[in-house]
Amino acid sequence: MKDRENYLETLYQAEEVLTNVGNEYTLSLVNSRLSEEYKRAQDYDKALFYMNKTLEYGEKSGAHSVTTVALHGIGSVYYDLHDYATALDYFRKAEKAALNQKILLKPIFRDYILLFGRLNEPDSVEKYVYAYQALNDSLVSEKTIQAVADLQAKYDSEKQEKEIAILNLENEKIEHELDQLSQKNQIDLLNYRQSRIENENFRQSIELAKVEQESQKSRIEVLILNEEIHKQALEHEKKIQRLMYIGFVIIFLALLVTTYSLSLWYRNKKKKEEAQLKQTAAELSRQLMETHMKALNFQLNPHFIFNCVQTVEYLLKESRTEESMDSLKKLSNLIRLMLESMSKKEISLEQELKIVRLYMDLEKKRYIMSFNYTIKVDDTLDPEATLVPPLILQPFVENSIKHGFAGRDKGNEILITIHPEHNNLLCEITDNGVGFFAGRQAKAPVSGYKKESLGLKLIRDRLNVINQMNNTCSSFTIVDLLTEDNKTKGTRVSLYLPYISAA
C-alpha cells in the first residue's frame, strides 16, 4: 500500500515537471499510468479524467499509437463500470485508430472476447477468438522469422571468419613450416569457436521449441475456450426453444379462447340484429301496406267510379255504344290493375304507365274540357325491367286534371317524362294549367281539395316508408312554371324514386 502511494506521488511530481517543461509526449505516458492506477483502485472518474487527457494529446499530435492506447483504456474503464455499449463503442474506435498495428490490436481483440461474452453474443466471441489466435500466430511467426534470420547472419559471419582463418593457416604453413605449434593452437581455437557456434545453435533450437510449445499450448487453450463457448451456445439455444414453445402454446390457447369468445359474441349480436331487422322489416311492411291501402281507398273513391258509370250511361243514351263499351272495359282494366298492384311492393314501370294511360283516357271521357297527354321514356330505360312503387304517378296526374285545368276548355296538355339521374329515377309531370300554388290562392276550399291534400300526404308517407326500408332518398317537389313577365304558365312535379332494375 505504501509502495503504491510512493508510486502515485512520483507520478504526480513527474506530471508537474513535464507540464512545466512542455514535454507533452512523456506527459501523456504519465497520464496513462495514473489512469491505470486509479482504475486498479476502482476510482473510475479519475481514471477516465487522465485517460481523456492522454486521448487529447494523441488526437492533437496525430500519434496513432497514443490515441489507440487511450481509446482502449477508456473502453476498459466503461467495461469495469458494466456500461458494455459504451465500452464496445470505444473498443471499435481503438481498433480503427490502430491502423493494423498487430501489437496494438492484440489486447483490443482480447477485450472484445470478454465483452461479447458479457453481452451473450457467442458468434461475436467466436469471431474475435479466431482473430486473436490469428494475430498471435502472426506475431509468433514474425518473431521466429527474425530469430532465424539473426542466426543465419551470425552463422554466415562465423563461417566466413573460419574460412579466412583456414586460409591464413595454410598461408602460414607454406611460409612458416616451422611454426607448426602456433598453427595447431590456431586450429584448436577455431575448433573451440565452432563448438560455441554449435552450442549457440542448439540453445536457439531449444528456445524455438519452447516457442512452438507455447504456441501449441495457446491453440489448445483456444480450442477449449471454443468448446466451452459452443456448449454455452447450445444450452442457450435449447433454453430459447423451450421458452418459444411455451410462449407458442400460451398464445395459441389465448387465441383459441379469444376466438371462441368473439364467435359467441358475434353470434349473439347477429341473432339480436336479425331479430331487430325482422321486427323493423315487419313494421315497415305493415306501414307500407297500410299506406298502400289508404292510397287505394283514396284513388278508388266512389265518386270517381260513379262518374265513370254515369259517363258510360250517357254514352249509351247517345247511342255511342262502342265508346261506352270501351270506357267500361278501360274502367274494369284500371280497377283490376290497381287491385293487383296494391299487393306488391314494386311493379314494372310498364304496368304503372298503363294504369296512368287508362286513368287519363277515362278522365278525358268524363270532363267536357279536352286535354292531350304525352309520355316520354328515356331510351336507356327498359320499362318492363324497371321497378317503381305501385300507383305513385296517378295522384299527381289527377291534380293536374282536376285543379290545373279547372275553368279551361281547350289547349290543355300533360307531359310525363321519365329518365335516370345518377342513382335515381326522375319522373316529371308537367301541365300548362293555372298552377298549383296560384290555383290554391285563387280558390276557396271546395269539395275534393282536402282529398287532394290527403293524396299528397299519402304519397309523402309512402316515400318515407320506402326510404326507411331501402335506405334511399325518395322525394317529390311541386313548382309553378312562370313566364318572362312572372305569370303562371303551368305546374311541374319532380318525383325522385330509387332506380331499381329487375334485370
Q: What is the CATH number of the domain that holds 92?
A: 1.25.40.10
Q: Which residue has the higher pLDDT, 445 or 498?
A: 498
Angstrom distance (rounded) from CA 203 to CA 208: 9
Does 329 reside within a domain?
yes
* Residue 229 located in a structural domain: no
pLDDT of residue 279: 64
Q: What is the pLDDT of residues 363-399, one digit of tens each?
A: 888 766 688 999 999 999 999 999 999 989 988 998 8
- End-to-end alpha carbon distance in the chain: 105
- Using alpha carbons, select from 424, 417, 418 the residue that is nearest to residue 498: 424
Distance, in Å, from the CA atom of 230 to the CA atom of 239, rounded to the nearest integer, reads: 14
Highest mean pLDDT among 205-209, 302-306, 396-400: 396-400
Residue 357 covered by a domain = yes
Contacts of 107 (CB under 8 A, 6+ apart): 72
pTM as predicted: 0.43
* Alpha carbon distance 498, 471 (integer Å): 10
The answer to whether 169 and 182 are in contact (CB under 8 A) is: no
Q: Tell me if 312 is assigned to some domain.
A: yes
pLDDT, tens only, 3-14: 777 777 888 788
The domain tally of the chain equals 2
Q: Which residue has the cell 331479430?
A: 275
* 429 in a structural domain: yes
Q: From edge to edge, which strands make up the β-sheet containing 371-377? A: 371-377, 412-421, 424-431, 488-498, 475-482
Residue 358: inside a domain: yes
Residue 243 belongs to some domain of the structure:
no
Confidence of residue 210 (pLDDT cuts 50, 70, 90): confident
Domain boundary pick from 118, 149, 184: 118
Q: Give dist(CA 84, CA 78) in Å, integer.
A: 7
Residue 369: its pLDDT value, please?
A: 64
- Taking the C-alpha atoms of residue 133 and residue 137, their distance in angstroms, rounded to an integer, is 6
Measure Cα distances from 450 to 235, 323, 396, 404, 456 in Å: 95, 32, 14, 16, 10
Other beta carbons within 10 Å of 77:
21
| DSSP structural state of residue 490 | E
> Would you state the cell numbers that stand for residue 24, as one nine-digit string?
507533452
Q: Which residue among 95, 118, 141 closes a domain?
A: 118
CATH number of the domain within which 496 lies: 3.30.565.10
In 300-320, which residue ranges form alpha helices assigned H by DSSP?
302-317
CB atoms within 10 A of CB 460: 13
The reply to whether 88 falls in a domain is yes
The pLDDT score that the predictor gives to residue 300 is 44
Cell 293487383 sits on residue: 340
In 3D, which of 289, 298, 295 has the Cα closest to residue 392? Answer: 295
What is the span of the domain harbouring residue 83? 2-118
Domain C-terminal end among 81, 97, 118:
118
Question: How buried is 336 (Cβ within 10 angstroms: 0-12 exposed, 13-18 middle, 19+ buried)?
Answer: exposed
Residue among 371, 483, 378, 369 nearest 428 (CA): 378
Which of the two residues, 320 and 150, has the higher pLDDT score?
320
